[in-house]
Amino acid sequence: MLTGFIAVSLASVGVIAITSLITYEILRYVWKILPGMTATPRLRVLLIVIPIFAAHIISIWIYAVAYFLVENFTSFGALTNATHQAGLDYASFVDCLYFSAATYTSLGFGDIVPTHDLRMLSSAEVLNGLVMIGWTVSFTYLTMEKFWSLPHRNTKVEGDKAKRPKG
């Protein structure tokens, strides 16, 4: 049915927009606060990586909610496997969350499979996840390049002991 395809496609665009804006705001905030921090390089890494993981986890949860809503309140598709049953319960939502995490990371185990028009949302999630992961990887590199302290960058690591290069 064309109506379901259009509705799920529009929902996909909406979810992509929402997750992109959330990721943007998180990365913008991290970029804004890092210059004023006097934290050690190791702490700075955590202050970069933890918000990035939060952005990805929030995105996965948003997709899980979208799957849950489409599955339980429309006839546009469902997630299926031998044991999964749609319903307004915890187990059904956990299946949506698990499927979302596997799809966002493009892992795709295949033990839960979308049907009908819901396949469009899962396809959009894979593409969105790949773009968001790439974006955050490049952001991590750029922030470490800009905010990593120069003395730390000029050290050589041999075994467990850091030594400064001569000269």
pLDDT in tens, the chain (167 residues): 799 999 999 999 999 999 999 999 999 999 999 888 888 878 888 999 999 999 999 999 999 999 999 999 999 999 998 677 888 899 999 999 999 999 999 998 889 999 999 999 999 999 999 999 999 999 999 988 887 755 555 445 454 455 555 65
pLDDT on residue 86: 83
What separation in angstroms does the CA of 151 have from each of 142, 158, 165? Answer: 18, 16, 11
Joined tokens for residue 30? 């991290």
Contacts of 156 (CB under 8 A, 6+ apart): 162, 163, 164, 165
CA neighbours within 13 Å on the CB side: how many for 95? 24
pLDDT on residue 163: 54
Instruction: For domain 2-148, give its CATH number from 1.10.287.70, 1.10.10.350, 1.10.240.10, 3.40.1390.10.
Output: 1.10.287.70
